[in-house]
Amino acid sequence: WAGRSERLRKMNVAFEEQNAVLQRHTQSMSSARERLEQELALEERRTLALQQQLQAVRQALTASFASLPVPGTGETPTLGTLDFYMARLHGAIERDPAQHEKLIVRIKEILAQVASEHL
C-alpha cells in the first residue's frame, strides 16, 4: 500500500512538472502568435498604404502625360494602359533621341513634378 502510494505520488509530481512545462510552452506559443498577428496587421497596413500611394502615382502620371501623345501614334495613357504607354513612349525616344529632345525635357519636368508631389 505504502509503495503504491509513493509511486502514485511520484507520478503525480511528474505530471505536475510536465503540466508546468506545457503551460509555459503554451504561454510562449500564445505570445508568439499574438506578436505575429500584430506584425501581420502592421504589414497589411503598410501594404495598403503602398498600394494607395502607387495608385495615386499612377493617377498622377496618367493625368500628367494625358497631354503628351506618343510620337507617331497620338496615343495617350489611361490607368489601364499606362505601363504600355510608357513603354511605347520610351521606345519612340530611344529610336531617335535627337529628334525628341523637347519631348525628353517635358518628360523630365512631368516626372519631377509627380515625384515632388507623390514621392
Q: Side-chain half-sphere of 15: how many Cα atoms within 13 Å? A: 6
Q: State the cell numbers at 91.
A: 521606345
Q: Give the pLDDT band (50/70/90) at residue 119.
A: confident
**Residue 68, pLDDT score:** 97
| CA–CA separation, 118 and 112 (whole Å) | 10
SS3 66: coil
Entry pTM: 0.75
- pLDDT, tens digit, 9 for 90 and up, residues 78-96: 999 999 999 999 999 999 9
| CA–CA separation, 34 and 42 (whole Å) | 12
